[in-house]
Structures are given as C-alpha cells and as structure tokens.
Chains A and B, each alone.
Chain A
Amino acid sequence: MASISTSEFKNGLKFLMDGQPCTIIDNTIVQPGKGQAFNRVKYRNLITGKVLENTFKSGEKVEGADVIDTDLQYLYNDGEFWHFMDPSSFEQYQAGPAAVADMEKWLVEQDTCTVTLWNGDPIAVKPPKQVVLEVTDTDPGLKGDTAGTGGKPATLSTGAVVQVPLFITIGEKVICNTETGEYVSRAK
C-alpha cells in the first residue's frame, strides 16, 4: 500500500499502526505559527476496537491499510470458523473468533452482515441492526400481561440473553436490536 502523508489525513482514513489496521476518527492540526506543525490524531484500532491517540510531526508518513467494508451473507459456523459469502460473486470468506467476537450471538444464517476485510480477510463482523431469533428458554408467561411492565430474561436460539416482556413464551420469535442488545417486539 502507498504511504500516506499527514497532509492527507482525514476522518475515516485507514492506515497501519504497529502493523495493525486503524481508522482515523479525529485529526486536528497544531500549528504554532512560529514552529513545527503537528497533527493530533485519534484513531480506532480495527482489530481491538481500542481508541488511541498519537501526535504526528506534520510531513510524517504512515502506511495505508487495505481495509474495506462489504455486505456478505452469513452461511454457517463449522465449530471453528464462521463462513460468509458474497451474494454476487459467490466468493466465500471465513471469519475467526477474533473477528466475530461478541457478535456471535446475533449471527443468523442467511442474514446479510457488514464484514470488514483487511487484505481480503475478515477482521470485524457487524450483524444487521435488527435480527429475528427464537426463544429457547424463559420462565412461563403470565396471562393478561400485555404491557410488558416487568420483563424477564429469555435465552434465544443463538445463546443471546435479553430482557423480554412477561407474555413471551418458549418457541416464539422475537425481534432484537443488535446494537443495544434489547428486545424490540414480537416477530410476526
């Protein structure tokens, strides 16, 4: 990848830091007028998700990172890898546990996920904002409760545990928000 000068820094730029792909989330020029300019840079490590800060002497160069976000269909988990497919080229990708991390509990076969590829390999997986999952375990429901006042924990088919209204029973399908980890509604 070509090297990138600090003068080309902007939010969203992908570059390598200590060999790992990162994306810039804030770039502020420090220009004292009488002296050397610097760039104060906040960036997220795309592997660990950590937000880091460095100050670069202006004119310094970093290596660009070949990182793209692409929509892939989730196929299955073979016990070791999660398999995804590009629906137009049918090309398949396998994501390891580090890439899937705690998103595992929201992966539903056939769902389209946003997968971040670094040099062609998945490094992060983002499920759809809402997924439909079946309730596999929860306490018996209380008749007449439709307002969802209290709530109770329910285990879903992927192993996710969410708070659901009291009227939800085992075997029902529910819609969950994967960003907040919360129950949204019953699935129709």
Chain B
Amino acid sequence: MISHKIDILKKRSDALHKLRAFFYAQNVTEVDTPILSRAAVPDVHLASLQTSVDLPNVGQQLTYYLHTSSEYPMKRLLCEGIGDIYYLGKVFRNGDLSPRHQPEFTMIEWYRLNYRLKDMVEETFAVAQQLLGDVPTQVMTYQQAFERFAGIADIHHTSAEVCLNCLKQNNVPEIIGVDADDKPLWEQLVLTEVIEPLLGLGQLTCLTHFPARDASLARISPDNDLTAERFEIFYQGMELANGYHELQDADAYRQRFEANQALRRQNGLAEVPIDEALLDALSSPGLPDCSGVAMGFDRLFALSQGKQDLSDVLAFGALDA
C-alpha cells in the first residue's frame, strides 16, 4: 500500500476518535444498531441491498435488508426512552458510485431530545468543525438560496418554465427525460445543477425549510404548510448533512410509508416490507420531541483533507474491495 494512503487512514482514525470524543463529552450514547433488518426504507430514491440469511429452526431462508441509515432502529430506541444517541458506522445504498458516492459508506447519525431545528443546525456545524476547523457558518432558507444563487424569487410558487429558463441561462447541458411541466423535478435540477455547486464555498452553508414534498420524516413547518422542518448542510459544493425536526405522529409515518410504496408500484419498483416494529413503537410509547441529523463521514473527512473523491480516503473503494 502506498504510504500516503496509510497516512490518510491514520488521520481517518484520529477523525473518528474526535467525533466519538465530542459525543462522549456531551453525554450522547453510542448505539450500534443492526445493519441487517427484516424491513427496509420505502423511499423511492433509496435502494437497499438485500441478502438471504439461514437461521436454525426457521425452516426457510429469510430476506434481510442492509440499512441505508440507522434511523428506524434508533427511533425505536428513542421511543423506549434511551435519550440522546448517536450511530457512527457503515450504511449501504445500492446503485451508488461516483466521486461522492460509494455503495458502502460511513455515516454519523444522531438524535437530540427537545432540540429545535436551530439547535440541531448549530450542533451539526460544531460537529463538522471538529474536522474542518473554525470555518465560518451561514444559514439561509431554501427559498432564499433560490433567490440568491438562481435569481428565482419565490420558488414555492413559481412555474416549471421559470426553472427551465434558469437552467438554460446557466448553460446547464440539456436534460433528457423530464416532462416540461414536472415542476418539482425542474426545481430539483436548479438546486443540484445551479445552486449546490455554489453552496458552502469556504464556509458551512445550511439551507432550511425544504419543500413539504421533500419532508421525508420531518415535521411540516407549523407556520407554513409548503415547507418542512428539514435542513441540509453544504461545504465546498457538497452536501454533508441532512437533518429533521422529527415527525412524531405514528399515523403520519404510516401514511408517508404507504405513499412511498404506492410510488414504488407506479415506478415499477418492488415494494419493501414496512418496519412494523417502528410503527408500533411510534404509536406506543411514542417518539419524544427530538431532532436528528445524518452526516456523511467520508465526505466530511475527505473535504477536511482537501480531497473531492471518497475513494481517496477509504481503505479500499467499492471497485477495489
């Protein structure tokens, strides 16, 4: 192995230690929840890896899914009353490989009781700064980011055409396969193709109040039902973290899971088993008021080392493992 790789891996070990020390000092408990689960995340855009497992006395091979995040078991523990917790370990996503994606990557995910979105944003900055040093921070709403970086004044009410023109004005290569009137998708493209490369240049930039349709398992904003209490943090044009003020209502979870299953059917994707154990825990004892965030450790560490490609900071990337 080349010596600079060994040097990087030693720095990686220091970085993991720093993050664990940060949470230890805050009295946040590390939980190493299962990687294998009978249930999977139903989000249309997340593909779980699956495997079959032989267990004695069960009589058949069981399908288990590799977690794409430790959110569901962590929330079950939160319902049980465990208090503040974090997970620092591997998660898996099928079909992902690019300079900023690997099918297997290290995630740091944590939950804080009684934290508002603002508290969680501040703590996420602090965690990122453990590795990035004292970089400046900046918070703006999703809507403000569209105004500032794409010149679109009111993204929540604008048309598909305005988004499409914005892409053209910014010389984004022609997009193939998107219906002219699919506003949510054109809006997403303005975000990924025009805005994101400009976010977090030399500073940590947080966007808050994503559209309600991207709420996932975040609460809808109490003062505006078009937006959700969800944030994302960017550094050097790369998304680092994604946080929610967590939805508590068990029925709302079931509705959002079922809406995703319906979308999976529409898109010709296989449905996945819903995490009934999570839904049970959410109905009783119920999820305490909390916020949670998931941050890509490999991205954070790569950027702290001035690298743009995750495989530069892994022992072995997916094509080399």
A residues neighboring B (CB under 8 Å)? 7, 28-38, 40, 52-57, 59-60
Contact = CB atoms under 8 A, between A and B. Distances in A.
A55 B174 contact: yes
Interface size class of B (residues with CB under 8 A): 20 to 34
A34 B184 CA distance: 12
B214 A35 contact: yes
B173 A54 contact: yes
Interface in B234-249: 239, 242
Contact of B101 (A31, A36, A54, A60): A31
A116 to B, nearest CB: 25
A29 B98 contact: yes
Nearest to B172: A55
Contacts of B214: 34-35
Contacts of B96: 29, 31
B1 interface: no
Interface string B127-157: 0000000000000000000000000000000
B173 A55 contact: yes
A84 to B, nearest CB: 35
B285 interface: no
B316 to A, nearest CB: 20
Contacts of B239: 32-33
B176 A60 contact: yes
B55 interface: no
A34 B176 contact: no
A-B CB proximity, top 4 nearest: A57-B177, A60-B177, A53-B173, A35-B188
Contact of A37 (B45, B99, B173, B193): B45
Contact of B177 (A28, A31, A59): A59
Interface in B185-223: 185, 188-189, 191-193, 210, 214, 216
B178 interface: yes
Contacts of A54: 173-176
A24 to B, nearest CB: 14
Contacts of B185: 35-36, 57
13 contacts: A28-B98, A31-B95, A31-B101, A32-B239, A33-B46, A36-B45, A37-B95, A38-B175, A55-B174, A55-B189, A56-B175, A56-B176, A57-B178
Nearest to B43: A34
B192 A30 contact: yes
A35 B190 CA distance: 13
B9 interface: no
Contacts of B16: none
B35 interface: no
A35 B177 contact: no
Nearest to A42: B173
Nearest to A7: B95
A55 B193 contact: yes
A41 to B, nearest CB: 9
Contacts of A34: 45, 210, 214, 216, 242
A30 B98 CA distance: 8
Nearest to A30: B192
Given A35-B45, A36-B185, A38-B192, 16 more contacts: A30-B98, A30-B192, A31-B93, A31-B95, A32-B45, A35-B185, A35-B192, A35-B214, A36-B45, A38-B189, A53-B173, A54-B175, A55-B173, A56-B177, A57-B176, A60-B176
